[in-house]
Chains A and B, each alone.
Chain A
């Protein structure tokens, strides 16, 4: 079982063009990333295509990954999630920002305070989500795992677009307050 240091090592070697490191990285992470693609897309054939895009992107962008104290799985999962959601949105023909263009992580290392916050946040997010009203944590989850846009959330909860945004932003700030406790 590969640990965090192994995965960072594989990514670093991929950046140098090491094919065996890519194979090792694939073996260590493809099942988790495929699980994420499947969860978002809900369709095996599409998830397989997405996973291919994910690993092609990982290979080509490995040189942009920086060991920064955050989990390397975060970088990989974020690539898988963003590419899958772009596919889902293309399928739904919804208008939205192409997430593949978004940065998976800032390329400079976060400061020590951010790191401390991040490691505790990771543990707490499930508990803190539970502190939100069910509708609101549900909306956050839908945005993250189903790529729902403000437009779609407004329709789903039957509230005006401006309201849903205010509503979700307040929830995110509340979530952050809980995470920072």
Chain B
């Protein structure tokens, strides 16, 4: 089985890859090798199976019931809303071309911990189609505070994020720039914008640091989602 150095080296390398111990370069090189070497794929598959059994003694723990609803809403959303969102985004012109690829879902955030206890609320989940970028948002119309939590995704290197509200067929209105490097953002929304939040669409775009220079989106849409009344 392990009768020569190469075999032993491959064995150890496959295990290191499965454990996540390799550097980025080593991982890339290993994947390239695995793509052309069925024996190496086998070695890796066997390691993965072996290591997975290290979880055999981990007891199952039932997740909170609300999490299932949150997850299913994150994945499936509400079909009717999805349709109207796509329709609306189609009116936005070339800046929002990237949105054709964005899937948008609604989610109830009552249990997610980012809502205030009093009075709100409108909520939205802003997501990219491949779930590479996800933001939960809740809006308190009384205080006109938009709270957002980025759960997946980061700004591109040397770039910033800007938050937009799109109401009806109107051009996107900037709600502000996401604080650099933060997972959370809390923006105070102008009264004129706050009244248009219901039924609107929130979107986040890739922009220069400090935001779009001319008040209209200039970069790719990273995530978008419709604003809904909290469930």
- A residues neighboring B (CB under 8 Å): 19, 22-23, 26, 30-32, 34-36, 38-39, 45, 48-49, 51-53, 55-57, 59-60, 68, 70-71, 73-74, 77-78, 81-82, 85, 96-99, 101-106, 108, 110-111, 113-114, 117-118, 121-123, 125-126, 129, 140-141, 143-145, 147, 149-150, 168-169, 172-173, 175-177, 179-180
Known contacts A49-B151, A60-B130, A176-B1: A26-B68 contact under CB 8 Å = yes
Pick from A53, A103, A150, A176: contact of B2, CB below 8 A: A176
Contact A51 B2 (CB under 8 A): no
Among A45, A52, A125, A149, contact of B21 (Cβ-Cβ < 8 Å): A149
A56 and B11 within 8 A (CB):
no
Task: Give the 10 A-B residue pairs with the shortest CB-CB distance, closest first.
Answer: A31-B60, A114-B42, A106-B41, A169-B12, A74-B52, A34-B63, A172-B15, A118-B49, A143-B19, A121-B50
Chain A residue with the shortest CB-CB distance to B127: A56
Q: Is the interface of A mostly helix, strand, loop or mixed?
A: helix
Task: Select which of A30, A78, A172 is within 8 A of B63 by beta carbon.
Answer: A30
Asked whether, in the complex, the Cβ of A141 is within 8 Å of the Cβ of B54, the reply is: yes
Q: Is the pair B11, A172 in contact by a Cβ cutoff of 8 Å?
A: yes
Can you list 7 A-B contacts with CB-CB less than 8 angstroms, sorted by A residue number?
A30-B62, A35-B60, A68-B45, A71-B52, A113-B42, A176-B15, A180-B1
Q: Which residue in A105, A117, A147, A177 is a CB contact (below 8 Å) of B48? A: A105
From known contacts A23-B72, A34-B62, A60-B130, infer whether A110 and B42 are also in contact, taking CB-CB under 8 Å. Answer: yes
- In the complex where A31-B61, A49-B151, A111-B42 touch, is A140 in contact with B19 (Cβ < 8 A)? yes
Which residues from A are CB-within-8-Å of B48? 70, 74, 78, 104-105
Decide: A173 near B12, CB < 8 A? Known: A31-B60, A110-B41: yes
Interface residues of B in 61-96 (CB under 8 A from A): 61-64, 67-68, 70-72, 74-76
* B38 beta carbon closer than 8 Å to chain A: yes
Asked if residues B61 and A150 are in contact (CB atoms below 8 Å), the reply is: no
- Contact check, A106 vs B11: say whether CB atoms are below 8 A apart: no
What chain A residues lie within 8 Å of B72 (beta carbons)? Answer: 19, 22-23, 26
Q: How far is the CB of B127 from chain A (nearest CB, A)?
A: 9
On chain A, the residues within 8 Å of B38 by CB distance are 108, 111
> How far, in angstroms, from A147 to B62 measured CA to CA in the complex?
24
User: Are the C-beta atoms of A126 and B151 separated by less than 8 Å?
Assistant: no
In the complex, what's the smallest C-beta–C-beta distance from B190 to chain A, in angstroms?
A: 31
Q: Is the beta-carbon distance between B76 and A19 smaller than 8 angstroms?
A: yes
The CA of A146 and the CA of B49, in the complex, are separated in Å by 18
Asked if B20 and A31 sit within 8 Å, CB to CB, the answer is no
- The answer to whether A176 and B54 touch (CB under 8 A), given A52-B70, A97-B27, is no
Residues from chain B with a CB closer than 8 A to the CB of A53 are: 131, 151-152
- Rounded to whole angstroms, the CA-CA distance of A97 and B17 in the bound complex is 10
